[in-house]
Structure formats: C-alpha cells, structure tokens
Amino acid sequence: MNQAILLLLFPAAAALITPAGSALSERFGRGLALLSYIAGIVYGVVLYPQIAASPASVIVGNWKPPYGINLFVSPLSLGLVLLIYCVAIVILVSDFASNRKRRAQFYLLYSLLTMASVGLVLTADLFNMFVFLEIAGISTFALVAVGREGSGPAGSLRYLVLAQLTTLLMLAGIGLVYSATGVLNIASLSRFAALNPAVAFLAGLLILLPFFLEMKQFPFNGWIGGAYRGASPAIGATMSGLVTVSVAMVLARLLLTMMNTGSAFGDATTKIRTVVLVLGAATVLIGETAAFREKEIKRVLGYSSAGQMGMIAIGIAIASQSAVRGILFLLVSHTIAKVLLFLVAGTSARLSGSDRWDEMRGIARRFPLLGMLFAVGAMTLMGIPLFSGFWGKLDLIRAAIASGGLAVVGVVAVLIATVVEGVYFMKIAHAFFEAPAAAKSAPPESTKQHYGVAFLAPALVLAAATVILGVLPGLIDPWLSSATAELLHPASGYAAHIVTGGLQ
C-alpha cells in the first residue's frame, strides 16, 4: 500500500520535469501538468475500492508512527484528493481560453501548489503539515505576483507577509506541543494525556492561525482585495476552489480529530472551538458585506469565498454529526460553484473588456449561456433548492439550532449572510441581463464572438455537477457517512489505523 504515495508524487514529478522539458516546447509544461493530474485521478479511482474497504497508513522511509513520517489514505482524504485533481484540470483547461502566454515557471508553481494541496489532505503529522503549508503559501504568492494587473505584486506581498508570520507562529505552537509530548503525530496526539489547559489553548490557537489565514477568516483576511484584484481568473479560482479544499480539510482534521476532548488538548478544546465559531460567524458577516460593496467581480467572488469558509468554520466548531456532514457537502458544493463562477467572470471580463460587473451590462443578452452558467453558480452558493449548496446549508442550520447556545449566533450569521449574498448576486445577474444603453448601436460582429471549447467544456461539466448533486444528494451519501465518522470518532478509525500501522 506504500505505492499510494504516488498520489503525491505525480504533481511533484511534473514540477521537477517542467523546466527542462519547456526548453524544448512552450506547451510541454501544460501537457505534463495535465497528464500528471489525469494519472492521479486514474490511480485514485483504481485505489478507492480497496481504501473504502480498509483505510491505509502509508509509512515513508520505514519509520513507523508516532516518530516517523506517514500519510493517511481513507475515503475522506482520497475523495478530496480526487476533487483537487479534478479542479486542477478544470482550471488549467479553462486557462487555455484566456490565450495568455504562460512560461514554464507558471506550470511549475501550479504543480507545486497542487502537490502541496494533496499533501495537506494526506499528511498525518504536524511538521509535514507545516512544510506543505509553506510550499502552498510560497506557490500562491508567486502565482498571484505574475497577475496581469499592476496590483498583482502588491496584493501578493501582503498575503506573503501574513502567511509567513502565521506559519512562524504555527511553528512555535508545534514546538510547544513537541516539548510537552515528544510527538507530532496527529493520531497519537488525539489520545495523549491532557496537557496543561493554558499551554494547550495557546499551542492549539497558534497551530490554527495559518489555516484561519488561508480560509480568509477575520481578522486575517485583509489581503483578499489586493490579491484577487491582481490575480488572473484562473489563479482566483485556484485560491478559492483548490486551496480551500485542503485547508478546510486540515482545519477539520485538527479541530475534530486531533483536538477532541479526550486528546492532549483536553479541556482547552471547548475554548478553541468557541474561538473558531465566533471568528467564523464574524467572517460570514464581514465577508458577505464586503462582497456586497464590491464592483470588481473577482473581488466579489473572493469575499464571497470568505463568507462561505466562515460557514464551514462554524460547522467545524459545532462538531456534531449533522454539522460535519453539512460542511463536507458545503465544501464540495462551494468548490464546484466558485470555480464555475471564476470561469464565467474571466470570460465575461474578456468579452466585455472590463473587470467591473456594472460595466458588463447586457452580456447575458449577447451570450445567454454565459448568463445561465452564472445563475447556476450563484444559486448554488445561495443555497437555492435543487442546487447542491442547499443541502449543506440546510444541515448546517439544523445542526446549529440543535446545538443551541452560542451556535445560535452562527445560525443568525448564516441567515443574514444568505440574504446579503442573494441581493448582490441578483444585482450582478440583473446587470448581466439588462439592456445596455448603447445596445442598438453595438456592431453586429460583437455577438459573433464565441466562448471557446476550453471554457465551455469545463463550465458545463461544473454546472451539471452542482445540479446533479442538488437533485440527487444521495450520490455522495456513503462518502459523507464514512468521512463524518472518521472525523468525529478518531479512536475507532483514524488513530487505530495509524498507531497500529494500518495496511502497509
């Protein structure tokens, strides 16, 4: 079963080989990246039945836990790895439609970011989590810095400073945990004797800080505006659709599995979850309010992602079965819908010549399919019935009401944010379908522009996926049940497989 490390090595190999091959052909890096992601999907699909029957601990370097490096492959982690690879392919294919000249460095960085995202989902110890997070942060910074707009480098610099600061604080938290326990293995910490509550609370918050940043949680989301303004639509989709899958998964793993009430973090667990819930509720309101005020469509979608990630943080903090099912469904739904909306935003900006949604008036009249795809993505994020976002929000609201107490604040935040979200998405949709003032004088040639297969194929696949999951949510019910049990009951699943070595 150690061959499962190939899931991590496919994009790593693509990143290493890209510079040499690109010296021969400009398209080499693009083709190699796509082939590596396709290979990862094929291998993951072949591996899934065996993993569904029995999760596996993959031991690296023949050093067994709790002191060695290991990965954990389960239905939850493998399912999210497959989602990451699918999203990576969709974004890369759609980037062809932009007709941008991409250097070899772009594909190298993109493959490194994909590898880091896969690594974050699979890793089972804190130090490797730190390493993958650093790779992801540096890759994201570099990708945003090459944005076409002049604000690209400035926006990415703010992100880099905050990312480096929070990861350094995370390293300090890891040091505190190691000095107190002598181990960094998540499974071992999930059933370690309780530490001093003050030390556990401080160490736990320090470890979570960079994940607050990557999930755009208040007050660590001041970088959103500049970064999304400077990023191309493909990179915006990567930050909102690809990176958030892995960091949300890690936050759930840390808060639900490693920091359960019977772990090294003991009594501090409740306080840490309270902090996460409050920050999540604040992020939902602030993120959606900021999105409401924005005119640049990429920034609207960036702040919208903050609001959606705030909802996921609330669900993780509630930590009930219904809440965890809800946030997993919401994570999958948000990933699909947000990537779709960034594809639509990029094509709309190209066809209209502006990044401002209020200057895209009438574009859906000229290109009705573009308007339909936007409506599908928007209604998914709003949680309209028959779209996948509905089921995640419904489970989350039910769980918050059932939990009572401070969780009710989360319910109020989600309901208010849903209304605000609906208003600004309807404003954008109205502008898209509104007749522009100069419509009668527009040249006939303007309606002859086409979307391009590189945009149309992935966009239609994403739209179909969110509708299918909305109408038939039971399709992923087995995966949701397994993933929920793994996160909430580590002693009988996650920890048992890793501490005993699992399948090797």
Which residue bears the tokens 């031991």?
59
Cβ atoms of 296 and 345 closer than 8 Å: no
Q: What is the pLDDT of residue 442?
A: 44
pLDDT along the chain (504 residues), means of 10: 77 79 62 86 90 81 72 89 91 74 78 90 88 87 66 65 87 89 83 84 91 87 76 81 88 88 82 91 90 87 89 90 90 91 86 80 84 90 88 88 84 88 88 67 45 80 91 88 84 66 38
> How high is the pLDDT of residue 329?
92
Q: H/E element holding 284?
A: helix 268-293
CA distances from 361 to 192, 357, 369, 399, 435 (A): 59, 7, 15, 40, 7
Report the C-alpha gap between 460 and 358 in whole angstroms. Answer: 25
Burial class (CB in 10 A: 0-12, 13-18, 19+), 461: middle
Between the CA atoms of 262, 267, 270 and 275, what dihedral angle is there, to the nearest 10 degrees?
-130
Global model pTM greater than 0.85: yes
Task: Copy the structure tokens of residue 332.
Answer: 């999958």
pLDDT tens-digit series, residues 380-429: 988 888 888 888 888 888 888 888 888 888 888 888 888 998 898 888 88
Domain residues of the chain, as ranges?
Answer: 2-439+446-490
Pull the structure tokens for residue 112: 């490194």
Instruction: From 459, 484, 227, select the one nearest 330 (Cα to Cα).
Output: 484
Q: Classify 367 as helix, strand or coil.
A: coil
| CA gap 386, 469 in Å, rounded | 8
- Measured distance CA(475)–CA(480) in Å, rounded: 10
Give the model's pLDDT for residue 239: 84
What is the pLDDT, as a whole number, of residue 504?
34
